[in-house]
């Protein structure tokens, strides 16, 4: 079983939290919601879901987790203003563990300065930001560059979730079959 941090702030894209979180839980992984303030309830931008932040970024370490997931919506834009969150994401990305971002999620990776020379995708409006930060933007439903996984939009969530589960490895996925 892997321990997965999902970075969230208000106005996240509802399905981009809900689908990967559900798939990870179904596979037996421990999911921890990381935000700016522990205990704060945040609502998705479509108001279809809300969630309570389990841990504040200042109180966690990359050593505590096996993977990091960054949903899109307006959440990454809010999170990139928090230095503790940016430091956590930067340290995590440098640890060579699974880092997955969908839609506007790569905005937080840009702020953490970890996208240079990586093949990535995103929501179309983030394309130029990724290119300006040194990434190679690719228009595909899911792009994997080493431990980095990126997807464009909610319609790509099944491929995105499958890539995360695949990178977490067969040992964790095999436990689902038993």
Q: Point out the residues that are catalytic.
A: 103
Distance, CA of 126 to chain centre: 15
- Alpha helices in the chain, H assignment, sequence order: 14-26, 75-79, 83-93, 106-111, 127-132, 157-168, 170-177
The H helix count followed by the E strand count for the chain is: 7, 11
What does DSSP say about strands 41-43 and 50-52: parallel, antiparallel, or unpaired? antiparallel
Work out the number of other CB atoms within 10 angstroms of the CB of residue 76: 30
CA–CA gap between residue 84 and residue 111 (Å, rounded): 12
Q: What phi and psi, each to the nearest 5 degrees, are found at residue 99?
A: -125, 115
- Residue entry with tokens 């996240």: 12
| Element housing 100 (H / E) | strand 98-102
Q: Give the total residue count for the chain.
A: 178
């Amino acid at each position: 079983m892997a321990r997965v941090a999902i970075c969230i702030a208000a106005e996240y894209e509802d399905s981009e939290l809900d689908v990967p979180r559900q798939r990870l839980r179904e596979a037996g992984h421990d999911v921890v919601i990381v935000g700016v303030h522990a205990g704060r309830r945040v609502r998705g931008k479509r108001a279809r879901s809300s969630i309570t932040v389990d841990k504040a970024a200042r109180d966690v370490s990359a050593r505590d987790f096996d993977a990091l997931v960054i949903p899109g919506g307006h959440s990454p834009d809010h999170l990139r203003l928090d230095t503790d969150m940016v430091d956590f994401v930067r340290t995590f990305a440098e640890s060579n563990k699974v880092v997955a971002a969908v839609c506007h999620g790569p905005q937080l990776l840009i702020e953490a300065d970890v996208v240079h020379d990586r093949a990535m995708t995103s929501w179309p409006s983030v394309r130029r930001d990724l290119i300006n930060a040194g990434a190679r933007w690719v228009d595909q439903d899911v792009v994997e560059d080493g431990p980095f996984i990126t997807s464009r939009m909610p319609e790509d969530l099944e491929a995105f979730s499958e890539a995360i589960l695949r990178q977490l490895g067969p040992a964790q996925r095999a436990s689902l079959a038993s």
